[in-house]
Structure 1
Amino acid sequence: MAAVKARQAAEAYFTLGNFEHAIMQAKVAKEFDPDLSGMDNYMTAYQMHSAVSHKQNWYIVRGIENPTVADSETIKKQYKRLALALHPDKNASIVAEGAFKHVKAALDVLSNPAQKRLTTSL
């Protein structure tokens, strides 16, 4: 019961634009019930929105820590991992659709060599 309330609080914090508290509440929900369905995906979606709101570069948005070693295969692999976690059909969070769009935008930039050279920041 406490885990469900924490998940609801996380969604409420997100709707208020407070990404950090949303992430904290999602972590609390996972601590209360590690088997609560979809909490890892909820946290991924919140973290995606947080990264975009802080105008972090596209590599960080995609979860690629070291851009110097990020080849096209690494970028595609990370896209697939995030797409599975964030696709609205797989993630019931209210933030999933927006996070999925951010991941797609990052792929569009990082998979286009001309755009990749011009800008890797939001």
Structure 2
Amino acid sequence: MNKKPRVAFICVHNSCRSQIAEALGKHLAADVFESCSAGTQTVPQINQEAVRLMKQLYGIDMEATQRSKLVSELPPVDIVVTMGCNVHCPHLPCTYRNDWGLEDPTGKEDAAYLETITAIEQNIMALRQFILDHF
């Protein structure tokens, strides 16, 4: 593998799931791939419950290094992972595409966020292994 593939995590507002995936990608798999995230719309700030829980669980301050951005702001990517937004995601040229089918925990209890964060962490580790095996 010459260069690390760049993975884009995409959901509608780039506020919660895609931000968590970007943060966990950087935290758990930076040795294998580059992580970025974006949405088809933006919000003024990252989901505050997600920010709080990511600080609590991993010591990651997403607001220090991330912001809500549009798909059009992304650099070229190798892999696109959609979060399961049930909307038509814009076509991004890539070598590999996957949908994780995750429910948005926004507005729900911490347990829903923790379930989503755990699922994202497992998916990140599986993606890390997939890239090691195939790229």
TM normalised by structure 1 equals 0.28
Structure with bigger RCO (C-alpha 8 Å, 6+ apart): 2
Query: If you compute each CA radius of gyration, which structure gives the higher value, 1 or 2?
Result: 1
TM normalised by structure 2 equals 0.26
